[in-house]
Structure 1
Amino acid sequence: MADTLSADYVVIGSGIIGSQVARKLALAGASVIILEAGPRVTRGEIVARFRNSPRRSDWMSPYPPVDWAPHPVYQPTDNGYLIQGGPYPYPAEYIRQVGGTTWHWAAQAWRNVPNDFQIKSLYGVGVDWPIRYEDLEPFYQEAEEIMGVSGAPNTGSPRQKPFPMEPVAEVYAMRRLRERLASDFPVVSNTTARNSRPYDDRPACVGNNSCQPICPVDAQYHGGLAAAAAEAAGVQLIPNANVYKLEHDERGRVAAALYYDPDKASHRVTGKTFVVAANGIESPRLLLLSTSDKFPKGLANGFDMVGRHLMDHPSTSLTFDADEDVWLGRGPQSPSSINTMRDGAFRSEHAPYRLDFTNISRVDGATTSLIKQGVFGPELEKRLRHSAAREMSVKNVLEVLPNPDHRIMLSSEKDAMGIPKPETHYSIEDYTRRGAERSQQDFRRIAELMGGTNLRFSKDGDFANNQHICGTLSMGSDPKVSVCDEWGRTHDHENLYLAGTGVLPTSATCNSTENALAVALRAVPHMLAQQGAASTPPPRDAAERVPS
């Protein structure tokens, strides 16, 4: 085993959340090490892979896994890393490299609405959070100022301060949707971590329409930027460090993280406090791997809660042809939505949802579909132009309630490093299905208002996955049904914290990153206080100032 490294704080995972926690700790004067399982990859490398990929619609193709830190891929075939335990498939996609999965995201950065924090008390479903919207509001603002978030004023989430910037200019197709749907639906700009003007030394969006899999100019915030900011603040980031076990001392405090390098040499990193911030699948996997005589079921798992309450935001969709040319494909891929069904008394009966419009160019998908149908020559040109100009699509983004039977476990199968693979157990329950059924009314009315023809609904019972992995490390006040407290500190280990989307106890209707980042930023002063550090030290200089 190689020489031991040590720091005040050891953070496992270098995505947006792990990196921003590490940065905030370092700016407070602490020594911090980040251990990242995957390699460093530059934006230029990713852009080149995307442009050279033969599978342009496969957004994971620019992110091939490495043997020492595999992640799931499904095209052209399933690589078998994420084992499906059923009864419904959960084909989650995520990236293990410096910066994590938000290299490749739509950058939607919504806040929950206030009632999302108490759905058990208000609607008799799910669970209540151990905190309320008001507790998180200043940290939402901090997260938004870090990422450079813009959005519409009428999101349903109260604000003490304005967004850092105005939304990116409305694209023509979304303007037509807003104008033609106004009688029935308020169409608003999505809340996104995407620059509409130069911000944080990054340029404004120039409309490449490749937000997924990669913004080629860094107008869109991502974890690579967060990791670089952490290093600039003094954090030591070690890539290609696949943590396979956490060790503890006789008191049950975590003492060290063990990791493999690409040659499977083992290294040991010690620290005073540990923060597991891998993601909603890899974090519970690590805790379950960290067994000992004292903790035979793994760390933080005294009541068998680690990995349970797996949630996401499944979607069904409608694709149709509008009665006018709208030409999707210029500007952000996911620019506008309808939010009227995010909250209401109906939540006692069926899932709430957002309705999200795509602006992804139709050329690649339509071309592939027509060629598969055997269409060539002038007919191909005619039909391709029609689809590219008029095809539109809308999807729902549905809430899933926490269910302990939906979970991440360890598989009997092992990866190339000899570590057990993660295994999912998941289903789509009636509560969510009823929400999807209700949204069909909205789909049909939207198509009607747009003069829609050739309506193609997603296959009945077929739900797409949005890769918003929540709930597997749920926070709560009762250790019998949760893994950590409101600060992310595990109930079983006083110096082990959890950060990331897995700690969110419910999924609500919005993308999970901003919610998880706000929760994590709120926890940093608590982490510092536990080591006797000042929770609000002065920043080193104006360039490193973290909004409070």
Structure 2
Amino acid sequence: MAEELSADFVVIGSGICGALTALKLARRGASVLILEAGPRVGRAQLVANFRNSTRRSDWMSPYPFSPWAPHPVYAPKDNGYLVQAGPYPYPAEYIRMVGGTTWHWAAHAWRYVPNDMLMQSLYGVGVDWPFSYDALEPFYQEAEEIMGVAGSLEEHPESPRSKPFPLEPVAEPYAMRRLRERLAGVYPVVGNTVARNSRTFDGRPACCGSNNCQPICPVDAQYHGGLSVDAAEAAGAKLIANAVVYQLEHDAQDRIVAAHYYDPDKTSHRVTGRTFIVAANGIESPKLLLLSTSDKYPNGVANSSGMVGRNLMDHPSTSLTFDADEEVWLGRGPQSPSSINTLRDGPFRSEYSAYRLDFTNISRVDSTTQRLLLEGVYGPEFEKRLRYSAAHEMNVKTVLEVLPNPENRISLSDQKDALGIPKPQAHYRIDDYTRGGAIAGKADFARIAELMGGSNLRYTKDDYFANNQHICGTLTMGSDPHTSVCDEYGRAHDHENLYLVGTGVLPTAGTCNSTLAAVAVALRSVEHMLPGSSSAWTVNHDAPIA
């Protein structure tokens, strides 16, 4: 057993939520230790990895795979880390590395609409949140100001605000302007709210329009968890990389007293603290809780309700690809800049899911080249068809709501990784509620194509739903300890000094990318952990963290 470490707060996971939680705590004078399972890799190396990759459309290719901290890999073949129990596949993509998965996100920073938090009361489906939109609004603003969220107040009345967006909108690409103009009067096309600089902000440049936001912004115009970690360390937090936490230890009073982690050589280390914060993600966090069994908690800590890992949600997508009757040339500017938001809420939600309609701006050159080569097209015909597709091809997708369902869940599989730790297993299905939204969205697809003079319409197959990697649920907040894992502040019902942060605590998924909401909820939770709250603690300035 290696030397013990200790801190006031031990944060498990260095993604954007864990790192910003650590930052806020450290700035208030607490000693903070962050444990990250994966390695630390600099941004310059990641950009070089992308440029040298032979799989340019594979957003995981720049990110190193670590045998001691494996993550799902699907190209060139599935590595089998996330075991699929069905009946529908859930091919989640996430990064186990310092900074977490926002290294390769699209930087969408959406607020929920208020009714997303009142689904049971208003529509008789799903659940209500344990607090209101108004209670979260100041923390949405705090998160936006940290991340530098750009947007237009006039375009986004669906999510009330107390203050303007920190940054003005990012420049609109030509193709999106044409969509806005040609769909006007039928569908209002608006700019997406994004954690992407529209001007120099926080020492980072404005978006340069290079069109590879995913898998990595080459100039650091997008905010990401790597920046959060840097800020937390600058504030005094200590980070240990390659620290794979495999067990949380509790005492007779049900307080968590230690986290045990393996290093890459499988040497075990023990870390003690006053408060523990699990901030991995919606798959790795429940995995850790389920692993942490004891005589009193044979099904894992924080799991007396049996709800750990349950209510897995995401935002499945269907899509339409078509050829516009004019040249629009996707590929200039951000990859996902504009959408239609008028279908995010309404009385129909009692019957079928709400959705956003999101337009891609990803260059069609790579995908068209691959398709034509597979078809055996070469020479002048190749050049002609490539140019036509690159100029005319467009794509629109649904971002569909999924209701919390306890049968959609993450459990432990009987397969183990290189350290002998059980791999996670996904149980998932697409229900009729979400399928109903997809059916409604298909009519919108047809109308959008018509308005753009579309031809050569290619819909996704009827039973195909793309995964958007917005892992929600699995650690649900709620007032009832029998049906939820933690309270409204993310504190586990079973353990007074264990907090959960990240997208896993979100009770409903709504229709928006989950990162901003998770960060806002985490920042709200920190207020409950700090002096002056109902669970005040005393700062231990003598706690060794190095």
TM-score bracket for the superposition, by shorter chain length: over 0.9
Q: Does 1:132 align with 2:137?
A: no
Aligned residue in 2 for 1:509? 511
Q: Distance in 2 between matches of 1:130 and 1:75?
A: 40
Give the secondary-structure state (helix, strand or coil) at the position aligned to 1:8.
strand
The one-letter code of the counterpart of 2:398 is: N
Listed as ranges, the matches of 1:323-334 within 5 Å are 323-334=325-336
Counterpart check, 1:12 vs 2:12 = yes
Q: How many residues align?
A: 534
Distance in 1, matches of 2:374 and 2:339, equals 32
Matched, 1:250 2:255: no
Give 2:446's aligned residue.
444
- 1:277-298: CA deviation from partner (whole Å, max 9, x where unpaired): 0000000000000001111110
1:369 is matched by which residue type in structure 2? R
Aligned to 1:75: 75
Q: Say which SS state the counterpart of residue 320 (structure 1) adopts.
A: strand
Q: Quote how far apart the aligned CAs of 1:532 are.
A: 3.0
Write the distance in 1 (CA, Å) between the matches of 2:376 and 2:293. Answer: 56
- Secondary structure at the counterpart of residue 519 of structure 1: helix
Q: Work out the CA distance in 1 between the residues paired with 2:221 and 2:407.
A: 40
What is the match of residue 321 of structure 2?
A: 319
CA distance in 1, matches of 2:23, 2:53: 34
Match of residue 497 from structure 1: 499
How far apart, in 2, do the equivalents of 1:313 and 1:62 lie?
A: 24
Paired AA for residue 104 in structure 2: H
Superposed CA deviations along residues 363-383 of structure 1, whole A, max 9, x for unmatched, are: 000000000000000000000
Indicate the residue corresponding to 2:192 in structure 1: 190
SS in 2 for 1:246: strand
Of 172, 175, 179, the residue aligned with 1:173 is: 175
The residue correspondences of 1:109-128 to structure 2 (distance < 5 A) are 109-128=109-128
What is the letter of the counterpart of residue 320 of structure 2?
L
Deviations 1:330-351 (A, max 9, x none): 1100000000000000000100
Give the aligned partner of residue 223 of structure 1: 225
Return the alpha-carbon distance in structure 2 between the equivalents of residues 208 and 237 of structure 1.
Answer: 32
Which amino acid counterpart does residue 180 of structure 1 have in structure 2? R
For residue 36 of structure 1, what is the aligned residue in structure 2?
36
Aligned to 2:389: 387
- Equivalent positions of 1:133-532 (< 5 A) are 133-153=133-153, 154-155=155-156, 156-529=158-531, 530-532=535-537
Distance 1:167 1:41 in 2: 31
Give CA deviations for 1:516-545 in whole Å, capped at 9, x if unaligned: 0000100101111324359xxxxxxxxxxx
Superposition deviation, residue 514 in structure 1: 0.3
**1:50 corresponds to 2:50:** yes
Deviations 1:110-141 (A, max 9, x none): 00011111010000000000011000000000
Partner secondary structure for residue 424 of structure 1:
strand
Local SS of the residue matching 1:193: coil
For 2:236, the aligned partner's letter is: G
The separation in 2 between residues aligned to 1:142 and 1:188, in whole angstroms, is 23
Secondary structure of the structure 1 residue equivalent to 2:184: coil
Normalising by structure 1, report the TM-score.
0.97
Deviation at 1:64, TM superposition (A): 2.8
Aligned residues with identical type, % of pairs: 74
- Aligned-pair RMSD on alpha carbons? 0.7
The alignment status of 1:22 with 2:22, answered yes or no, reads yes
Q: Which residue of 1 aligns with 2:85?
A: 85
Q: CA–CA distance in 2 between the matches of 1:214 and 1:483?
A: 34
Gaps of 5+ in 1: 535-548
Q: 2: distance between equivalents of 1:18 and 1:277?
A: 5
In structure 2, distance between residues paired with 1:52 and 1:427: 37
Match of 1:99 in 2: 99
Question: Letter of the aligned partner of 1:270 in structure 2?
Answer: T
- Counterpart residue number, 1:541: none
Cα distance in 2 for partners of 1:10, 1:31 equals 9
Distance 1:376 1:453 in 2: 23
The whole-number CA distance in structure 2 between the counterparts of 1:531 and 1:245 is 26
What's the secondary structure of 1:411's corresponding residue?
A: strand
Distance 2:312 2:112 in 1: 18
**CA distance, structure 2, for counterparts of residue 43 and residue 380 of structure 1:** 36
Alpha-carbon distance in structure 1 between the residues aligned to 2:306 and 2:527: 29
Q: C-alpha separation between the residues in 2 aligned to 1:152 and 1:23?
A: 28
In 2: Cα distance, 1:524 partner to 1:49 partner: 36
